[in-house]
Amino acid sequence: MVDRSCDLSQDLETLHSNEILKAKSRYLRGNIAEGLEDTLTGAVPGDDPLLMKFHGIYQQDDRDLRAERQRRKLEPNYQFMVRMRIPGGLLTDRQWLGIDRLSRLYARRGLRITTRQTFQLHGIRKHHLRLLMQGIRDLGLSTIAACGDDSRGVVCGGNPLLSRVHHQVAQLASATNELIIPKTRAYPEIWFQEPPTAPPNAKDDPFYGPLYLPRKYKVGFAIPPVNDIDVYGQDVGYIAIVENGELQGFNLCVGGGMGQLDSREDSYPRLAEQLGYIPAQEAPQVAEIIMGIQRDFGDRKDRHRARFKYTLDRLGNAWFLEELAKRRGKPLEAARPFQFVQNADVPGWQLGDDGLWHGTMYIESGRIDGALRDQLMGFFQQYGGRIRLTTNQNLQLVEVGDYELEQVKWRLDDLGLSHRMEPHLQAAHTLSCVALPTCGLAMAEAERYTPRLLNLFERLKAQYGLQELPITLRLTGCPNGCARPYLAEIALTGRAPGLYNLYLGGSFHGDRMAQLYASNVDETRFLELTAALFERFSAERQNGEHFGDFLVRAELLDKAPVQIR
C-alpha cells in the first residue's frame, strides 16, 4: 500500500498552511485585487504575496534600505519582481523592443535574463503592476505560473548545429507549456480587470484543482550533445534522441532539483534519474501525467519535502514506474544512448544545418541595464532574425540569413557589442543569481559580487596556466540553488555576508553533483583553497581533463579541509 499520510488525501486542516491558503484562495484570487488598491502601503497585505507568486510576481523590498527606513518610521521599500513566461526563451524583435520599453517605464534595474530563459523585471511599484501586466499581455506574453507551486516555464535547450531538430523540440516544449500551465480566470480578472465570466469554480483549473501542486514543477528539454538546460536539475527532463538526423523521442529523467536547507539533513539537491524512453509526440502528455502523480502524491505537510524528488525518494522508482504505466496505459521503453559534452553556451557564430546563422552573446549575470540596454535596443531596431534567451543567462541571435550576416556583424561592431560574441570562455561559464538587495532569501551577495569574483578567479587561473580552460563557476546568495550551483565544477552558496559554502566536483556537462568541500569560506580562503587544487591540477592534469573530473579522479574531495561545524 502506498503511504498517503502526507498528501492531498488528508484533511485540509492537517496540511501545511500554504495548502490551506491555496484552498481558500478561490483559484488564486485571494484579496489581491483589493490589496492593489490599498494606498497606505506599497505592499500587498496579508498572505496575498504568496498567491501572487502563481501570477509570476514576487513581493520584495530593497534590503539595503531596510534599517534606515525603519528608523525613518517608513515601511520597507516594497517593490515587485515580475517574471515572464517565455517558453523556450524565443522572442521576436518586436517583443524585445516592447519589453525594453516596459522596463524603462516601470522597472528600476533594467532586464534580467534568468536561468529558465525568461526575463525578470525588478523594482516594479504596486501602482504600476497592472499597467505592466497589461503591457506584457499586449506583447503576446504572460507571467502566469512563472513562480509558485505550479508548472514553471518550460525550458528548451539550443543546438544551432541541429536546427531542424531544435525547431521540433522547441515546438514540443511550447506545446508542453500550453498543456500544463494554470488556466485560472483569476489572472485576467485581477490584472486586466476583465469582468468574471462565472464565479470562481473548479472549471478554473480542472487539472490542478484548488490546491495546485505541492511545490514548483520544472520541465525541460535538452538536445545532446549540449546540456545547457541542466537536464538533471529538472523535475522532468527530456533528452532528445536523434538518429540519422531525425528526432525519434526522448529519454525521460525525473526527480532533479537544486533546493536545500543548510539546517536540515533530510533536505538535499538531487540529480534527476534516467528511467526510460518515450516517443517524441508523447512528451507533453507524459509531462502532464507525471505532474498529476506529483499533485496526488506529493508531500503537502512539510514544504521542505514537497518537491517531486522527495516524493520519488519516499515512494520509490518502482512505485513511480507502475503509477506512470497505469496512467499512461503502457510502460516506458528502454533509454537510448546519447552523449553530453558540456552544459554551458559557446559564444560566437555557428552555422546551423538549415543554412542559417546563430550567434551567442555573453551577458554578465543576465543583467541588461544602462548602456547595454541602449545598445541592444539600437541593435534590435534593425534586425531581421529571431532572439533566444539561454538558460545560461545569455542572449542568442538566431536564424540570421547568410545575406545579412555581414551587416549584422557590422552593426554589432558599430554599437560596441561584438566583443560579447568572442569566446571569452570563463565568463560564459559563470552563473549567478540576483541575491541582494531584492531577494528575500539571500544571505550573501551574488550578482553584485560576480564581477569582482570573476576577475580574481581568472587571475588565479592564469597563475596556473589554466586561462584557456573553461570551468563552470556558479554563485548564489543562499542554498536554494537558483543558479544551479550543485551541478557546477565550482560553486559558492551564500551563508552570511562575505561567507559561502564551497562546493566542488560537478562534471563539466552537469551529470554529477558537486559536494560540499568547505563551509563558511570568505574570499581569501576560497582563493587559497582553489589555488592549492589548481596547483595539483595543472601538474597532474590528463589530456583534455576537466577540473571537476580531475578532483574526483585524484580523490581530492574526500580530503576536504577541516570544516567549521
Catalytic residues: 83, 152, 216, 218, 433, 439, 478, 482
122 scored as a contact of other proteins (CB under 8 A): no
Question: What does the H/E/C string look like for 259-299?
Answer: CCCCCCCCCCCECCEEEEEEEHHHHHHHHHHHHHHHHHHCC
What does DSSP assign to residue 154? P
Residue 67 or 532 with smaller CB distance to other proteins? 67
Can you tell me the distance from the alpha carbon of 88 to that of 169, in angstroms, rounded to the nearest whole number? 9
Query: Residue 125 or 373: which CB sits closer to other proteins?
Result: 125
SS3 string, 329-361, reads: CCCCECCCCCCCCECCCCCEEEECCCCCEEEEE
* Residue 244 interacting with other proteins (CB under 8 A): no
- The answer to the question of residue 304 lying near other proteins (CB under 8 A) is no
Cell numbers representing residue 22 in the block:
491555496
Show the site string, 423-452: x = touches other proteins by CB under 8 A, - = not: --------------------x---------
Q: Is 231 in the site for other proteins (CB under 8 A)?
A: no
Find the helix or strand (DSSP H, E) in which 10 lies. none
**Interacting stretch for other proteins, rule CB under 8 A, among 72-80, 86-94, 307-315, 523-531?**
72-80
Among 36, 519, 527, 560, binds other proteins (CB under 8 A): 519
Task: Give yes or no for a cis peptide into 497 (omega within 30° of 0).
Answer: no
Burial class (CB in 10 A: 0-12, 13-18, 19+), 547: buried
Figure out which of the listed residues 11, 39, 337, 355 binds other proteins, where binding follows CB under 8 A. 39
Helix (H) or strand (E) holding 138: helix 129-138
CA 559: distance to chain centroid?
A: 32
Q: Which grid cell sits at 23?
A: 484552498
CB 115 within 8 A of CB 393: yes
As given in the structure block, the three cell numbers for residue 83 are 517574471
Measured from the CB atom, the residue of 213 and 443 that comes closer to other proteins is 443
Binding test (CB under 8 A) with other proteins, winner from 140, 196, 416, 497: 497
Q: Which of 75, 194, 322, 402 binds other proteins (CB under 8 A)?
A: 75
Stretch that binds other proteins, among 64-72, 183-191, 283-291, 550-558 (CB under 8 A): 64-72
Report if residue 34 touches other proteins, rule: CB under 8 A: no
Cell representation of residue 72: 525613518
Q: At 337, list the grid cell.
A: 544512448
Q: How far apart are CA 129 and CA 191, in angstroms?
A: 8
CB of 68 to other proteins, least distance (A): 9
Binding segment toward other proteins, per CB under 8 A, in 20-28, 35-43, 424-432, 453-461 = 35-43
Closest CA to 451 of 364, 390, 522: 364
Question: Which one, 437 or 485, has the nearer CB to other proteins?
Answer: 437
Residue from the set 1, 11, 37, 40 that interacts with other proteins by CB under 8 A: 40
If one asks whether residue 413 binds other proteins (CB under 8 A), the answer comes out as: no
- Asked whether position 520 contacts other proteins by CB under 8 A, the answer is yes
Shortest Å distance, C-beta 320 to other proteins: 32
Q: How many CB atoms lie within 10 A of CB 32?
A: 23
Q: Which stretch binds other proteins (CB under 8 A): 60-68, 172-180, 323-331, 403-411?
A: 60-68
Q: Is 17 in the site for other proteins (CB under 8 A)?
A: no
- The least CB distance from residue 66 to other proteins, in Å, is 6
Task: Kindly report whether the peptide bond that precedes residue 279 is cis, defined as omega within 30 degrees of 0.
Answer: no
Stretch that binds other proteins, among 15-23, 336-344, 420-428, 491-499 (CB under 8 A): 491-499
Alpha-carbon distance values, 235 to 133, 309, 310, 325, 453 (Å) = 28, 7, 11, 18, 31
Shortest Cβ 271–other proteins spacing (Å): 25
Query: How far from 23 is each of 30, 34, 208, 421, CA to CA, in Å?
Result: 10, 19, 11, 49
Q: Binding pattern to other proteins, positions 123-162, x when CB under 8 A?
A: ----x-----------------------------------
Is 524 a binder of other proteins (CB under 8 A)?
no
Count of chain residues binding other proteins (CB under 8 A): 27
* Burial (Cβ within 10 Å: 0-12, 13-18, ≥19) of residue 447: buried
Task: Determine, following the binding rule CB under 8 A, whether residue 317 of this chain makes contact with other proteins.
Answer: no
Task: Give the binding range for other proteins (CB under 8 A) out of 71-79, 97-105, 160-168, 235-243.
Answer: 71-79
Q: Which helix (H) or strand (E) holds 34?
A: helix 32-37
User: Does the protein bind other proteins through residue 498 (CB under 8 A)?
Assistant: yes
442/446 Cα distance (integer angstroms): 9
In the complex, the residues that contact other proteins under the rule CB under 8 A are 39-42, 63, 66-67, 70-75, 77, 127, 262-263, 443, 495-499, 519-520, 564-565
